[in-house]
Structure 1
Amino acid sequence: MSVLDIDVDYLVGQLKALLDIPSPTGYTDTIVRHCSQELKRLGLTPELTRRGAIRAIRQGSRRAGARALVSHLDTLGVQVKAIKENGRLELVPVGNWSSRFAEGARCRVFTHSGTYHGTILPLKASGHTFNEEVDSLPVSWPNVELRIDAVTTSPAETMALGIEIGDMVGVDPGQSFMENGFIVSRHLDDKAGVAVMLAALEAMERERAATPVDIHWLFTIAEEVGVGATSILTPEVASMVAVDNGTSAPGQNSSEFGVTLAMGDQTGPFDWHLTTKLVDLCRDNDLPFRKDVFRYYRSDSASAVEAGHDVRTALACFGIDGSHGYERIHVHALETLAKLIAAYAVSPVEIERDTQKMSGLHGFTDQPTAEADQPAVLDPPDGEGQEHAHMGQGKGAQT
């Protein structure tokens, strides 16, 4: 099976458009409209939950045992916790991220009366005033504040602008698309995953690719706070691949190039059979890939399983440097991942039993447990050659 060609210009264009739309968790209506309109343009009919998670089904040869692909539209952000005596804003994070990466960020405050721009600053921001105390200030959210780009020096003046406690704040991405293929920006988690899914879908529509089962294209709106794909799956879905970032950091095996396949995260291992299928698709189609395990990571897959959905789950990633900070990825990873997603969608179904919610042992899966063949030890250390060589030859003869 040959992989579909991905329109990289389309992929990058979609990513730029997505990054231009602020979408912190809890303030995602605008990006939901954008994504829904693009799905319509590609020929699908999106359905929205009450709060805006998107499901768009591309019909295959049958409904039962459907496959799902999922990424999330929401990003990290902040929320107004209090209006301070100096008129500036105390903040709390939306999602799990450090105030270290918020310091110096440009942002937008969304109020009922309009949007205000501002900058997130440490409480001691002026070196001319605080000297070395600028460097000794602890890193924490109580030690930063939002300076609004408006005339205000008191709570009354700030509230007169229409700014209230609880208002949402979107952090500007500050994106940079380099000629060498690198992309540097905030919120690549997971707008790059959304762009990958749209690019895979565009390729399938362009080539009129047929699939053995329905493919559910899912876009969630609260992954960063742990909700994710809790309520978007239907009973027909038997397997789901989350498309998200893989952290290319010291101690990890992820890469900013090719595909990173997560074997497990903090919620446990991903489905062995589905992950093995993705590995085989990479090998069969010469798609470069790596495997990794994440200690401090969860995705839409975790939320779906924890909500009680009996689906096989896997996590296919683009490698990202500086996750939940000022992130960097490479176009090569996005293109390769889109090829894998499309290849998975059109690939044959191996586990026919998955079309049923419950059944007996007939057709149940197998995992390898037999002893591996091991070559004889021809040159063992410490003068133990004869005994060890004999043991190795004997074991090989028995298998």
Structure 2
Amino acid sequence: MTDVLHQLLTTPSPSGMTDAIVNLVCGMLDDLGIEYELTRRGAIRATLPGVSKAPDRAIVAHLDTLGAMVKNLKSNGRCEVVPIGHWSARFAEGARVTIHSELGQHHGTILPLKASGHTYNKEIDTQPSDWSNLEIRVDRRIHSKQDLIDHSINIGDTVVVHANPVFSDDGFVCSRHLDDKAGVAALLTAAKAIVDGKFKLPLECHILLTISEEVGVGASHVLHGDVAEMVSIDNGTIAPGQNTCEYGATISMQDMAGPFDWHLTRKLLTLAKAFQVEHSRDVFKFYRSDAAAALEAGNDIRTALVCFACDASHGWERTNLASLESVADLMVAYMRSPILFERDEMALGPKEDFPVAVVASETEDAYGED
């Protein structure tokens, strides 16, 4: 898992420029002997065979990351920049980047417009943190707009923000873009455990790796009608007021798109307890995942969200390998578990076998009697 995560982090993949990481992961799937298909743009649908092919289940994580784009060429030879995906300009300040143009690559740094304390004194601390106050200083002999043009730098060039991963002896991984490459590494590790263990799965399971989650598209385009259950893997936020498990898996009960499926989330909680996987529950207010995109695209499926711990999400992120191991363990247990409900084989069915969540009646009094 550590080796896979390092390879993923050092392969640039901002939304809109994911071909390199798609090819990397396809090679990993080839090495595991796992069959897969690609959509036109490169989303991956791999398949672990099961006893039953319909209905089947899916586990999804995304390969794309945040990034930036050249917005304009400035007269001082620097580049105006805008974000790819939603992240704060505060975390962009000081980032080392590579501009990918049609004819070459150019390294540089994202800097505030007022970057030198020797020149601007306290103004460097009072200028607002905003993308309009940032620019890219290119590491070339460039001092004018024409110099940028001569170096084939143009409006719309993709800007890769360097991950700079660091793996510590305590199991911590500090890097940009752990969202969601850490989730992908955990999922691929779980898939390898299934293959190496020669486990016979009760249901066919699709490993879905999407390429545009950070811009809101996510798993809307890689599913098919046989999928009845889908678990999304993404980051859980370490922050005051959150209950994310820093060294285990976190099962989200709701995000900004609404509650996850009652039955599927509680099945995951049951599996985590049964297999002694360290875990917690959490609710996220400013967050959505591949699951939301799948439902918004009209898929009538049960969804759940399992998270690895992520401190300072969408910035200088940190996780711990223990959390990734817990996510991988839980996914192995889930893939080996039976279908949630037999009736889910049908898109439409009778009322007689429709499941009922065990909840108290609204007329039940404090003593448990109607």
What is the aligned partner in structure 2 of residue 3 from structure 1? none
Letter in 1 for 2:227: V
Instruction: Give the alignment of 1:213-362 within 5 angstroms.
Output: 213-362=203-352
For 1:140, the equivalent position in structure 2 comes to 130
User: What letter corresponds to residue 33 of structure 1 in structure 2?
Assistant: N
State the shift of 1:248 in Å: 1.1
User: Among the aligned pairs, what percent are the same residue?
Assistant: 49
Task: Output the CA distance in 1 between the equivalents of 2:131 and 2:198.
Answer: 50
Counterpart among 31, 50, 60 of residue 40 in structure 2 = 50
Query: Is contact 1:255-1:320 (8 Å) kept?
Result: no
Q: Who is 2:153 aligned against?
A: 163
Alpha-carbon distance between aligned partners in 2 of 1:293 and 1:153, rounded to the nearest angstrom? 49
Residue-by-residue CA offset, 1:345-372 (whole Å, 9 max, x unaligned): 0111230000111111132111012369
SS at match of 2:99: strand
Confirm or deny: 8 A CA contact 1:71 1:219 kept in the other structure: yes
Aligned residue type for 2:322: H
CA distance in 1, matches of 2:192, 2:35: 14
- What amino acid maps onto 2:247 in structure 1? F
Contact 2:57 2:230 in 1 (8 A): yes
Say whether the 8 Å CA contact 1:64–1:356 is kept in structure 2.
no
Residue in structure 2 matching 1:173, options 123, 148, 163: 163
CA distance, structure 1, for counterparts of residue 359 and residue 92 of structure 2: 49
Residue 63 of structure 1 is matched in structure 2 by 53
Residues in 2 aligned to 1:319 and 1:350: alpha-carbon distance in whole angstroms: 27
Q: 1:87: which partner in 2?
A: 77
Counterpart residue number, 2:173: 183
Residue number in structure 2 paired with 1:383:
none
The answer as to 2:237 corresponding to 1:208 is: no
Q: 1:370 aligns with which of 360, 363, 370?
A: 360
CA distance in 1, matches of 2:321, 2:240: 21
Q: For residues 161 and 254 of structure 1, what CA distance do their matches in structure 2 show?
A: 46
The answer to whether the 8 A contact 1:109-1:168 is kept is yes
Name the aligned partner's letter for residue 63 of structure 1: K
- Structure 1: distance between partners of 2:162 and 2:360: 54
2:128 partner amino acid:
P
Runs of 5+ consecutive residues of structure 1 not aligned to the other structure: 1-10, 375-390
Greater radius of gyration (CA): 1
Q: CA deviation at 1:58?
A: 1.1
Give SS of 1:158's match: helix
Shift of 1:62: 1.4
The alpha-carbon deviation at position 162 of structure 1 amounts to 0.6
Partner of 1:7: none
SS where residue 329 of structure 1 aligns?
strand
The SS at the match of 1:209 is coil
The partner residue of 1:126 within 104, 113, 116 is 116
Give 1:257 shift. Answer: 1.0
How far, CA to CA, are the matches of 2:98 and 2:31 in structure 1? 30
Local SS of the residue matching 1:310: coil
CA distance in 1, matches of 2:296, 2:197: 36
Q: Give, in angstroms, the shift of residue 255 of structure 1.
A: 2.3
In structure 1, give the amino acid aligned to 2:296. Answer: E
Maintained 8 Å contact 1:45/1:56: yes
Q: Give the distance between the partners of 2:98 and 2:344, measured in 1 at CA.
A: 46
Size of the aligned set, in residue pairs, is 369
Is the contact made by 2:264 and 2:340 (CA closer than 8 Å) also made in structure 1? no
- Cα 1:337/1:94, change in 2 over 3 Å: same
Partner AA of 2:47 in structure 1: I
Q: CA deviation at 1:338?
A: 0.1
Q: In structure 1, how many angstroms separate the alpha carbons of the residues matched to 2:190 and 2:239?
A: 27
| 2:20 is equivalent to residue 38 of structure 1 | no
Please give the TM-score of this superposition, normalised by the length of structure 2.
0.98
Deviations 1:86-133 (A, max 9, x none): 111001100000010000010110011111100000000011111100
**Secondary structure of 1:145 counterpart:** strand
AA aligned to 2:346 is Q
Match of 1:75, SS state, is coil
Q: Give the direction of change, closer, same or farther, for the CA distance of 1:350–1:230 in structure 2 (3 Å limit).
A: closer
Structure 1 runs, 4 residues or longer, greater than 6 Å off: none
Alpha-carbon displacement from aligned partner over 1:298-354 (angstroms, at most 9, x marks no partner): 000000000001110000000110000000000100001100001000111230000
Query: Normalized against structure 1, the TM-score is what?
Result: 0.91
**Post-superposition offset of 1:74:** 0.3
Alpha carbon RMSD of aligned pairs, Å? Answer: 1.4
CA distance in 1, matches of 2:44, 2:245: 29
Residue 49 of structure 2 contacts residue 203 of structure 2 at CA under 8 Å; is this kept in 1?
A: yes
Q: Indicate the SS of the match to 2:65.
A: coil
List alignment gaps of at least 5 residues for structure 2: none
Residue type matched to 1:45 in 2? E
